[in-house]
Structure 1
Amino acid sequence: MKLITKWLLSAMALLFVAYVYTGVEVRNFTAALVAAFVIGLFNMVVRPALVVLTLPVTVLTLGLFLFVINALMFWAAATVLEGFNVKGFLPALVGSVIYSAIGVVIDSALERLFPKK
């Protein structure tokens, strides 16, 4: 139940990002659902490998390079999907920061609603 709720709220967060920032476009809620799924999948599969491969750069930039990795995951999802469009790297960076901030709020709220046993 928690996973489905997080997925739905993440799709709504993606729609919110598209609403407040013109560099990100989402056609409809179905496209947002698919995009939230693909972003989550990329973050689960590809992101850990990128984090390990770019560890020296991440250390040199005191962790700021992780924002670039998040933007790349966001942008990669947009290139794979129809109905979800990001207009370039800088919009991907801004969109991923907004999306991640909303994701932190969603995770915090879901922890309170569905506490670990």
Structure 2
Amino acid sequence: MGLLVRLLIGALALWVTTLVVPGIEVDGGSTAEKAGTLIVVALIFGVVNAVIKPLIKVVGCVFYILTLGLFALVVNALLFLLTDWIAGALDLPFHISGFWAAFWGAIVMAVVTWAISVLVPDSWERR
């Protein structure tokens, strides 16, 4: 149940990101198709973050230290671009126009995900 809630929070944050950041788009026909695309892309983003991000943190820990953590913003943008590439390989109508759109999109996505997570009660995690 917790994974489903996190997936829906991620999809909602991704939708807000497409509204706020120019250059991040979900094309498609109906609202249901767009919602389905957002859910699948949120799932891809979650898997990419769960699998690849820890490896990058270990390999690039020197860069994290030298930049006082600012390198994490670049890593998040690159992971967001990787999500776009995977979505494109799966023929999903999700597009990021470049690095700066991915950079700002990753920041907006993180902030919105955090804000929604604060608002959603975590009683589902205790079960």
TM value normalised by structure 1: 0.91
Whole-Å separation in 2 of the counterparts to 1:84 and 1:47: 21
Whole-Å separation in 2 of the counterparts to 1:115 and 1:36: 20
How far the C-alpha of 1:115 sits from its partner, in A, is: 5.3
Whole-Å separation in 2 of the counterparts to 1:5 and 1:45: 20
1:51 has 2:61 as partner: no
For the 8 Å contact 2:16–2:112, the answer to whether it is kept is no
How far the C-alpha of 1:78 sits from its partner, in A, is: 0.5
1:91 has 2:101 as partner: yes
Write the deviation string for residues 56-76 of structure 1: whole angstroms up to 9, x where unpaired.
011000001011111111110
- Aligned-partner SS, 2:105: helix
Write the deviation string for residues 21-73 of structure 1: whole angstroms up to 9, x where unpaired.
11111231111111100000000001100111111011000001011111111
How far the C-alpha of 1:113 sits from its partner, in A, is: 4.1
Match of 2:43 in 1: 37
Whole-Å separation in 2 of the counterparts to 1:100 and 1:9: 11
Unaligned runs of 5+ in 1: none
Deviating above 2 A after TM superposition, structure 1's stretches of 4 or more consecutive aligned residues are 106-117
1:79 has 2:85 as partner: yes
Identity of aligned residues (%): 29
TM value normalised by structure 2: 0.84
Match of 1:22 in 2: 22
For the 8 Å contact 1:78–1:86, the answer to whether it is kept is yes
Match of 1:10 in 2: 10
